[in-house]
Amino acid sequence: MKREFDLIVFGATGFTGRLVAQYLLETHGVGGALTWAMAGRNPDKLAATRRDIGAPQALPLLQADASDPAALAALVSRAGAVLSTVGPYQLHGEPLVRACAQAGTDYVDLCGEPGWMARMIAQYDAPARASGARIVFSCGFDSIPFDLGVLFLQDEAVRRFGAPLTRVRGRVRVMKGTFSGGTIASALATIEAASRDPALARAMADPFALTPGFRGPAQPEGDSAAYDDAAQSWTAPFVMAAINTKNVHRTNALRGHPWGRDFVYDERILTGDGERGARRARALARNSRVQMALLGWGPTRELLRRFALPKPGQGPTPQQRESGRYEVAFIGDTEKGQRLRATVKGDRDPGYGSTSKLVAESALCLGTEIDRSMTGGGVWTAGAAMGMPLVRRLQERAGLSFVIED
């Protein structure tokens, strides 16, 4: 039976939640075929957000606190799907996931916190399967372009070669954008939790932390500068690889390992050829180690939080979002050595301008194009739950391009 709302945006007054609401308003309006609402804990802030984005009074505002189980249960019972931007998820996310898993309500978020995700998989995959809820994490820049980029490349490889690519490299060519306070808060919460919990620290370093019951082969080391013969470029560590690679391996596992149980995947930033590229790669690797050391020590982390890092609610300006972009190359090889390349491009800054479109279209794809005979209840990745229909939708609506490089 159809519920009152197709979609509820939970956390609509936050920086990213506001962008998602604005995108839905611009693309679907209010009172049309898509029934949607904004939700959060503060009714005054919700009303201000509705006014600020130019939405009419007819756009419903729903009050619920992330720490109030009864309010969350009532909220999710009214929706076919909930899109959550309330992070850090490890601090605020579990009650909403639990409510959706119990109510059979689809759930989509922007989580890039693998330790928390591993725990949610263990606790709520079975209840979600029983209720029919589809729980899909990481539907922003982490990890949609990477998860779907590998899927797109593999789909073409099977069509062209009749075999999957057993080795794929994700290589970031361009990434122009800035971080918001919400993203920084999630990163700091993860670092703090890992410093207290050795098991979480091990999970952060484990490429198969999100594939319970399966361990694949050793994966490439990603902490230092290295020359990549396949890309003909020096490369440096990529900060999002820790979450993206885990999601890609989970997609392969959830789909029944169509890319093989010995599939190898890594992500790095391209810095160019020659001595200049080598210097840049070494500098980025060194800076990455220094930053992690500073953030990993409590006193310096607190100083950076107070005086240097953006606060929650702060983020890039409209001009920064619109002038941003990204480009990721994927290079894959079959077991026989046949090679295939693809490029994924986004037309806005990765963290916010693009992410707000990615997560909105993921939620809409799940609700309107993927019925439960295609994808049943459980904890999924975008690639496993929606696959090529989402690739097509993002190209048509969200400013992404997926292109095979012949």
Q: Provide the residue ranges of all domains of the chain, joining segments of one domain with +.
A: 5-141+353-398, 144-350
Bridge partner list, 7: 36, 81
291-300 pLDDT, tens digit each: 777 677 678 7
What type of residue is 2? K
What tens digit of pLDDT does each residue of 348-403 get? 999 899 999 999 999 999 999 999 999 999 999 999 999 999 999 999 999 999 99
pLDDT at 179: 63
| Position 289 confidence tier, pLDDT thresholds 50, 70, 90 | confident
The CATH-assigned architecture of domain 5-141+353-398 is 3-Layer(aba) Sandwich (3.40)
346-362 burial: b if 16+ Cβ within 10 Å, else e: bebbbbbbbbbbbbbbb
Q: What is the pLDDT of residue 302?
A: 78
Instruction: Give the confidence band of 312 by pLDDT, cuts at 50, 70, 90.
Output: low
Q: What is the pLDDT of residues 55-91, one digit of tens each?
A: 999 999 999 999 999 999 999 999 999 999 998 999 9
Q: How far apart are CA 134 and CA 366, in angstroms?
A: 8
Mean pLDDT of the chain: 93
Q: What is the pTM of this model?
A: 0.95
Residues 6+ apart with CB under 8 A from 276: none
Q: Stretch 142-165: mean pLDDT, rounded?
A: 98
The predicted structure's pLDDT at residue 181: 64
Of 174 and 304, the one with more pLDDT: 174
Euclidean distance between CA atoms 310 and 304, whole angstroms: 9
pLDDT digits (tens, 9 = 90+) for 244-276: 999 999 999 999 999 999 999 999 999 999 999
